[in-house]
C-alpha cells in the first residue's frame, strides 16, 4: 500500500469531523456515489463539500459538469472553496 499525504483542509478539520461526514456519506445513496467515485473517504468528504458549493452556484452536481482536476486540487492542499473558485474562474463549468 502506498502512503498518500493528507490534504491540509482535511487535517485541519480533524479525523473526528471527517470520519463523521464519511459515515454520513456511507449511509446515504448519493453519498455512496462520492465514496465509490473517490475510493478514498478523505477525498470523498472534500469533494462532497466542493460539490455542495457547486450545487449552490449552478444547481448541478460537479459530477454532472465537465471533468476538472479535482484530485489535483486536493493533492495541492487547496480548500474545497478555493478549488471551486479556480473551477469557475477557469471557465471549466462551460
User: Is there a domain that residue 2 lies in?
Assistant: no
- The total of other beta-carbon atoms located within 10 Å of residue 14's CB is 10
The backbone torsions φ and ψ at residue 59, rounded to the nearest 5 degrees and listed phi first, read: 75, 10
How large is the average pLDDT for residues 60-84? 94
Q: Evaluate if residue 3 carries a pLDDT over 50.
A: no
The answer on pLDDT for 4 being more than 70 is no
Is 23 inside a domain boundary?
yes
| Within-domain flag for 61 | yes
- Reading the block at residue 5, the C-alpha cell is 499525504
pLDDT at 2 over 80: no
Number of domains observed in the structure of the chain = 1
Q: Does 3 reside within a domain?
A: no
Domain membership of residue 59 (yes or no) is yes
Identify the domain containing residue 79 by its residue range. Answer: 8-89
pLDDT digits (tens, 9 = 90+) for 7-62: 999 999 999 999 999 999 999 988 899 999 898 999 999 999 999 999 999 899 98
Amino acid at each position: 500500500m502506498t502512503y498518500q499525504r493528507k490534504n491540509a483542509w482535511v487535517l485541519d478539520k480533524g479525523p473526528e469531523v471527517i470520519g463523521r461526514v464519511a459515515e454520513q456519506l456511507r449511509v446515504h445513496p448519493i453519498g455512496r456515489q462520492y465514496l465509490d467515485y473517490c475510493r478514498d473517504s478523505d477525498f470523498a468528504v472534500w469533494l462532497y463539500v466542493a460539490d455542495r458549493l457547486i450545487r449552490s452556484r449552478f444547481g448541478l452536481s460537479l459530477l454532472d459538469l465537465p471533468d476538472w482536476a479535482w484530485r489535483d486540487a486536493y493533492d495541492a492542499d487547496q480548500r474545497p472553496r478555493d478549488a471551486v473558485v479556480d473551477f469557475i474562474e477557469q471557465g471549466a463549468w462551460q
